[in-house]
């Protein structure tokens, strides 16, 4: 056990998919894994381990925001030996050529601040995704016929921001979408020498103001689970 994860030694697979919502973790595990079993429910953050095509996989919630993800990712890596962490979630689109339901595979994740800022101080460290995972995810998305975009995203540290000037500059500089976790995930992967990737579905759009109905979000989330699993186990 760790401070925030109640799993026993051996309960966590080396490959972990991390949606923000713990109930999405349960849904994904029950839908896509064979013989999923609950391995964590401390503070309501659910984690399940099962197999996919014979490969051990854990699907564990991360919570919302980089500080929450940092807690779970650190413990999964340090205390349970996780080697591959893939964030699967939703994002807001920031380019006109990126449409609702499209998939974004994050090559890099820019941010104003992350929990790792205390280590780097004035240095703006820019870790990328793992290349092999990224390549596999793009191939999996294309094989499914899912519109896919590869490039930079923005990891915000607030949900209700009031910075239209910053959004304008990110759009100008080609940022594809905004979410709240990937930048710290990529920092931690670099620090601990593991593989990490962020695969997102565009659920709403900052420019067009479109948004997916709730029933469509679940179907789109399913595509991301499959893409992430194919990326980890091509």
Domains and CATH numbers, the chain: 15-232 (3.40.50.1580)
Tokens matching residue 91: 């994002």
**174-208 burial, b for 16+ CB within 10 Å, e for fewer?**
ebbbbbbbbbbbbbbbbeeebbbbbbbbbbbbbee
How do the pLDDT tens digits run along the chain, 234 residues long? Answer: 899 999 999 999 999 999 999 999 999 999 999 999 999 999 999 999 999 999 999 999 999 999 999 999 999 999 999 999 999 999 999 999 999 999 999 999 999 999 999 999 889 899 999 999 999 999 999 999 999 999 999 999 999 988 889 999 999 999 999 999 999 999 999 999 999 999 999 999 999 999 988 767 766 788 899 999 999 999
Q: How far apart are CA 82 and CA 73, in angstroms?
A: 9
Q: Which of 11, 34, 161, 204 is catalytic?
A: 204
Which residue numbers belong to the known binding site for phosphate? 20, 24, 43, 87-90
Q: What is the pTM of this model?
A: 0.95
Which residue numbers belong to the known binding site? 4, 20, 24, 43, 87-90, 179-181, 203-204
157 is catalytic: no
Q: How far apart are CA 115 and CA 95, in angstroms?
A: 27
């Amino acid at each position: 056990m760790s401070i925030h994860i109640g799993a026993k030694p051996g309960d966590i697979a080396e490959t972990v998919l991390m949606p923000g919502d713990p109930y999405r973790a349960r849904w994904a595990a029950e839908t896509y894994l064979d013989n999923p079993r609950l391995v964590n429910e401390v503070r309501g953050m659910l984690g399940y381990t099962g197999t996919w095509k014979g490969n051990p996989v854990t699907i564990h919630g991360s919570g919302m925001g980089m500080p929450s993800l940092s807690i779970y990712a650190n413990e999964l890596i340090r205390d349970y030996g996780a080697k591959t962490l893939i964030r699967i979630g939703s994002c807001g689109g920031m380019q006109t050529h990126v449409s609702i339901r499209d998939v974004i595979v994050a090559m890099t994740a820019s941010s104003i601040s992350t929990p790792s800022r205390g280590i780097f101080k004035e240095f703006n460290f820019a870790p990328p995704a793992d290349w092999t995972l990224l390549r596999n995810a793009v191939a999996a998305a294309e094989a499914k016929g899912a519109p896919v975009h590869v490039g930079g995203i923005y990891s915000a540290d607030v949900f209700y921001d009031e910075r239209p000037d910053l959004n304008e500059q990110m759009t100008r500089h080609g940022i594809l979408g905004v979410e709240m976790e990937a930048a710290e995930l990529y920092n931690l992967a670099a620090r601990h020498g593991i593989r990490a990737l962020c695969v997102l579905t565009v659920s709403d759009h900052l420019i067009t103001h479109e948004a997916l109905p709730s029933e469509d979000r679940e179907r789109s989330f399913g595509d991301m689970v499959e893409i992430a699993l194919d990326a980890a186990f091509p």
